[in-house]
A and B are shown apart, each in its own frame.
Chain A
Amino acid sequence: ETGVTQSPTHLIKTRGQQVTLRCSSQSGHNTVSWYQQALGQGPQFIFQYYREEENGRGNFPPRFSGLQFPNYSSELNVNALELDDSALYLCASSLAGSLKETQYFGPGTRLLVL
């Protein structure tokens, strides 16, 4: 069984640029959620995708957008990067779109915005 994988592991961008982060869900899972973890804080929910549709969104601006593909992998896109976007971005996968199902996390992508 393959776990959740994310790429890249680290990324450095400058303010105003755009970034795309990628996530492959665990085998058999059909739901992907994205979280932002700023330094010294707990993860914050960005959004969730279930069967290629957005299935819930946290308090993040529209410049944070996502996609889910037929194989259930997912992308997180952030436009017009700001310094405060520097964080660890975590992807989690689960089955069936219900939060009663456990979310399993990937290792994260660490983004630094200069």
Chain B
Amino acid sequence: AQSVTQLDSQVPVFEEAPVELRCNYSSSVSVYLFWYVQYPNQGLQLLLKYLSGSTLVESINGFEAEFNKSQTSFHLRKPSVHISDTAEYFCAVTFQGAQKLVFGQGTRLTINP
């Protein structure tokens, strides 16, 4: 079965520290990969996506993610986090031939001053 696993349910870090949120997927077909962010009491906002081409993708607010096909991973990183990055982060995958996004369980990123 095709699935997405976010290995950490919660990640606490100090402000200005680096962070990595891990995402692995299971699939026998081609995939497209996404990271969405959900701020408290809000819907999902697209952070970045990998469709094809360069395996390293970046967002406008300093996040980046790298598609690793051999390890079936799409980890999200930021070299220096800010208080405003506090949110829930969801990794999502679409599988070739499917109509839906499959989401991980989410990782709650908490930034401490």
Contact = CB atoms under 8 A, between A and B. Distances in A.
Given A43-B44, A43-B90, A105-B45, A100 B104 contact: no
B44 A90 contact: yes
B24 interface: no
A58 B43 contact: no
Nearest to A48: B99
A103 interface: yes
Interface in B48-104: 49, 51, 90, 92, 94, 98-104
A43 B43 CA distance: 10
Given A41-B105, A42-B105, A99 B43 contact: no
Q: How large is the interface on B (under 10, 10 to 19, 20 to 34, 35 or more residues)?
A: 20 to 34
A42 B104 contact: yes
A105 B34 contact: no
A55 interface: yes
Contact of A100 (B94, B102, B105): B94
Nearest to A33: B100
A48 to B, nearest CB: 5
B98 A99 contact: yes
A108 interface: yes
A104 B100 contact: no
Instruction: Name, among A33, A42, A92, A97, the residue most crowded by chain B CB atoms within 10 Å (CB to CB).
Output: A42
Interface of B: 4, 32, 34, 36, 42-46, 49, 51, 90, 92, 94, 98-106
Given A35-B101, A42-B90, A48-B99, 11 more contacts: A40-B106, A41-B105, A42-B105, A43-B44, A44-B103, A45-B100, A45-B101, A102-B34, A105-B43, A105-B46, A106-B43
A-B pairs, top 6 by smallest CB distance, nearest first, are: A56-B99, A42-B103, A45-B100, A99-B94, A105-B44, A107-B43
